[in-house]
Amino acid sequence: MAQRNTWQRERVREALADARGFVSAQTLHATLRDENTGIGLATVYRALSGLADSGEADSLQSPDGEALYRACATSEHHHHLICRRCGLTVEIEASPVEEWAKRTAAAHGFQDAQHIVDIFGLCADCAAAI
Ligand SMILES: [Zn+2]
Ligand SMILES: [Zn+2]
């Protein structure tokens, strides 16, 4: 099937790149609406899941189950530290987690194991503002 709405996907990609950290489809849609792009929420959802599928965006679930997206600086495996108030995101390495995950999977006879580990909290600015 031909890819329709390519400019919309492109615009969503740009908005995602401009975001400060992980954002929800609703947040991104609100930004695009403010810019009068006329891009609908359903299109934003589709574009974001397409970007995640093609590896151009990282996606994860917030603690309250909302899907969040971000255009990450690297496509290498990494982890995130995310402020649950403002969305500020820091890409982190977690060597102890890599070893633990490998060891634990192997101990249970699992191969080709993957893991998703992200830390949610309050950034220094937000903690100071409360
Ligand atoms: Zn914050
Ligand atoms: Zn890892």
Q: Residues with beta carbon < 5 A to ion ligand 2?
A: 98
Per domain, the residue ranges of the chain are 1-74, 76-130
Which ligand minimizes its atom distance to the CA of 80?
A: 2
Of 60, 71, 62, 65, the residue nearest 18 (C-alpha): 71
Query: Which tokens go with 112?
Result: 């080709």
**What CATH number should be reported for the domain whose range is 76-130?**
3.30.1490.190
Same fold, 1-74 and 76-130: no
Q: How far is the CA of 80 from the centre of ligand 2 (A)?
A: 10
* Domain 1-74 part of CATH 1.10.10.10: yes
Q: What is the pTM of this model?
A: 0.77
- Residue-level pLDDT, tens digit, the chain, 130 residues: 445 668 999 999 999 999 888 999 999 999 999 988 899 999 999 999 999 998 889 999 888 899 999 998 777 889 999 998 888 999 898 999 999 999 999 999 999 999 989 999 999 999 999 8
Please state, in angstroms and as integers, the Cα–Cα distance from residue 59 to each residue in 3, 28, 35, 38, following that order.
Answer: 22, 14, 24, 24
Which ligand minimizes its atom distance to the CA of 91?
A: 2
